[in-house]
């Protein structure tokens, strides 16, 4: 396995619509290597999610793993999850404001409104169907990562730039006043 270079904002691949993973690619050595490298890269950078375009691969793959932490202790831990060709559909009308960060915008945080509950259709790395509803923080992370597959970054979803801040300033001036976890 290898640690891959993470694309930062301004890199063209982050603004492209990623190609679907063809059925014939599932299980191939290249497909498996990319997923394993994405997982290792996500862990190396202390991320909780990573989309293939963030590692310069324009394909519809997402990896997510949300450990229990002080930031999201009310939400359930999300085990290592691989999503292939995910489709996210909002469920209900409730949207919530929350803080997000991104490995492609290092050391930044901003507030984004997301659907509180979503329905996810996808495949896992073995081609098994995923057909499930999610809510709360895990739903936010799924939406954030799947946005990358359509060339959308969290700053594009912000209603304004007033909440955009660097992590040290977030930690110093905002984190203690907010009970909203960062994605």
Q: Is 73 a catalytic residue?
A: no
- Exposed, middle or buried, 53 (CB in 10 Å: 0-12/13-18/19+)? buried
Query: What DSSP line would sit under 27-86, residue for residue?
Result: T-HHHHHHHHHHHHHHHHTT-SEEEGGGGT--BSEEEEEE---STTTTSPPEEEEEEEEE
Active-site residue, selected from the candidate residues 40, 65, 145, 159: 145
Question: Measured between alpha carbons, how far is 114 from 144 in angstroms, rounded to an integer?
Answer: 9
| Distance between CA atoms of residues 37 and 43, nearest Å | 10
Residues annotated catalytic, as ranges: 145
């Amino acid at each position: 396995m290898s640690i891959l270079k993470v694309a930062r904002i301004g890199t063209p691949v982050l603004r492209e619509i990623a190609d679907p993973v063809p059925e014939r690619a599932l299980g191939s050595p290249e497909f498996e290597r990319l997923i394993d490298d994405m997982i290792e890269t996500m862990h190396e950078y202390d991320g909780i999610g990573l989309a293939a375009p963030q590692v310069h691969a324009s394909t519809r793959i997402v990896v997510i793993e949300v450990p229990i932490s002080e930031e999201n202790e009310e939400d359930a831990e999300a085990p290592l999850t691989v999503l292939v060709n995910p489709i996210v559909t909002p469920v209900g009308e409730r949207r919530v404001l929350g803080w997000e960060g991104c490995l492609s915008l290092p050391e930044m945080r901003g507030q984004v409104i997301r659907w509180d509950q979503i329905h996810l259709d996808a495949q896992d790395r073995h081609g098994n169907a995923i057909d499930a509803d999610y809510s709360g923080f895990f739903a936010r992370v799924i939406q954030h990562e799947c946005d990358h597959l359509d060339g959308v970054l969290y700053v594009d979803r912000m209603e304004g730039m007033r909440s955009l801040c660097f992590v040290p300033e977030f930690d110093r001036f905002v984190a203690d006043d907010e009970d909203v976890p960062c994605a």
